[in-house]
Homo-oligomer: A and B are copies of this chain.
Amino acid sequence: MSSCPYDDSRIHAALEEITGPQGILTAAEDLESYVRDQRGKYHGRACAVVFPRSTEEVSRIVRFCSNEGIGMVPQGGNTGLVGGSVPDESGREIILSLKRMNRIRAMDSENFTLTVEAGCILQDIQNAAAEADRLFPLSLGAEGTCQIGGNLSTNAGGVQVLRYGNARDLVLGLEVVLADGRIWNGLRGLRKDNTGYDLKQLFLGAEGTLGIITAAVLKLYARPREIVTALATVPDPDSAVSLLSRLRTASGESVTSFELMPARGIEFACRHIEGCRNPLDAPSPWYVLLELFGGREGSDLSETLQEAFGACLEEGLVQDAVLAQNESQRRELWRLREGLVEAQKHEGASIKHDVSVPVSEVPAFLAEATKIVTDLVEGARPVPFGHLGDGNIHFNISQPEGMDPRAFLARWDEVNRHVHDVVARLGGSISAEHGIGQLKREENMRFKSEVEIDLMRSLKYALDPEDLMNPGKLV
């Protein structure tokens, strides 16, 4: 039985004519992994998945779909967390997978740029940069499977934003197929270009709703020669914020990561995850995992850090600290941070938030949100962790011990609303790095001003008047 309720055979034939028989899937069972998201929250249907090999093919597909009024859902690694890359339930949309467009088009190491196609896996890009003695600093959990087109369309964040910025900041040029099928070639590798509106900014972070990113010129950095990693305990989030300021200054802005973790998260990780061990003995309510990148082995970066820690210890901003002495100790420290996420699954259901506030407001946010959540659900166990350097907290709450997980999860929206109200009051964002997709579309509208919604819709209408580019997402 076909998954496509209208004249699918004609559509399939037309698409296959463009992509070749290897470039299209139409049977429902073949589509299964493309129509659902990885968290299992969304399960749509699709008329077909197409796999173009070139920008020209993307252009022809979009032109055809545009003429036929068929909605298009661009898809990379399908690792998103907000349902942005799966189709609706009509079965009338197609999925446009970029995975066969995975060539590295050009490396220009003297210009510190790399030109890649949208379907390149993030890790392959990191590796290509490293081979040329360069760093592509975008780094996140899904890097082994996510694709750069998705990273750019969602303005991905990750653990090195503090120093290198979000995905948006790592792009010098784009190639985009517009809603009418025309190709915009903006693949420039320039640090300065003031010849008009910065068109690439429209498509970065737009979740495919304004056009389909097919290639990009990425910014590279010098590959660090020395990496200094430390775990420190701090008495409270205020001290962590002060420590961050001190270290940014003392290291000449070499702090690459600055991750806050609560004692409960460390406990969870050590309890459930093999290889997780807390190297600091004395109990502490808060931990900071931090990393600095330096230019040469044997630089004074460790010394600088130790000196700064020394002063902070005296003032009580830091209680204890340990520096990784080698790569395996470094991996061990990061294992705590990564294990914490995994470990929460072993403690039952959790309700999640991906929020940001000004860095200076993180302590107030943590205090207020924790109080509200524990007032709402007695015994709820907040495990707020994340990128303090960016003011980005993953405010995840593990269920009360012994509670029915379904009963806890039934309160998801209610808890979200209360936490988001705190975020809004502190001038924050209800989606710091995961985007809006389908998941947060309605909730987002609660916080956006009318002017802002109008502006977003004007842009959408100007670039995609028929609403065929990833319909139902973001705006």
How many copies, total? 2
Min CB distance, A363 to chain B, in Å?
10
* Contact status B356-A190, CB under 8 Å: yes
**Known: A300-B300, A427-B189, A451-B184. Contact between A196 and B293, CB under 8 A?**
no
Tell me the smallest distance from the CB of A348 to a CB of chain B, in Å. Answer: 28
B residues less than 8 Å from A444 (CB atoms): 195-196
Q: Which residues of B contact A193 (CB under 8 A)?
A: 356, 429, 431-432
Contact (Cβ within 8 A) A358 B254:
no
Residues A270-322 near B (CB distance < 8 A): 293-296, 299-301, 304
Chain B residues whose C-beta falls within 8 Å of the C-beta of A194 in the assembled complex: 154-155, 157, 205, 429, 431-436
State whether the Cβ of A109 lies closer than 8 Å to any Cβ in chain B. yes
A461 at the interface (CB under 8 A from B): yes
| Contact for A252 among B133, B225, B429, CB less than 8 A | B225
Count the A residues whose beta carbon is within 8 Å of the partner chain — how many? 101
Given A192-B387, A194-B205: A252 and B250 interface contact (C-beta under 8 Å): no
Q: At the interface, yes or no: A408 with Cβ under 8 Å from chain B? A: no
Question: CA A291 – CA B430 in complex, angstroms?
Answer: 40
Tell me the A165-213 residues at the B interface (CB within 8 Å). 165-166, 168-169, 178, 182-186, 188-199, 201-202, 204-206, 210
Q: Roughly how many angstroms separate A451 CA and B225 CA in the complex, as a whole number?
A: 43
Inter-chain contacts of A169 with B (CB < 8 A): 165, 169
Q: Determine if A390 is an interface residue (Cβ-Cβ < 8 Å).
A: yes
**1/0 per position for A237-270, CB-CB distance to B under 8 A?**
0000110010011111110000000000000000
Q: Are A456 and B250 in contact (CB under 8 A)?
A: no
A429 CA to B226 CA, complexed, in Å: 36
Q: Known interface pairs A195-B444, A196-B456, A296-B250. Does A108 touch B360 (Cβ–Cβ under 8 Å)? A: yes
Q: Residue A70 at the B interface, CB < 8 A? A: no
Using CB atoms and an 8 Å cutoff, list the residues of chain A in contact with chain B: 108-113, 133, 154-155, 157, 161-162, 165-166, 168-169, 178, 182-186, 188-199, 201-202, 204-206, 210, 221-226, 241-242, 245, 248-254, 293-296, 299-301, 304, 356-361, 387, 389-392, 427-436, 440, 444, 447-449, 451-452, 455-456, 458-459, 461-463, 474-475
**Closest 7 A/B residue pairs (Cβ):** A252-B295, A201-B201, A110-B360, A193-B429, A462-B462, A191-B390, A192-B432
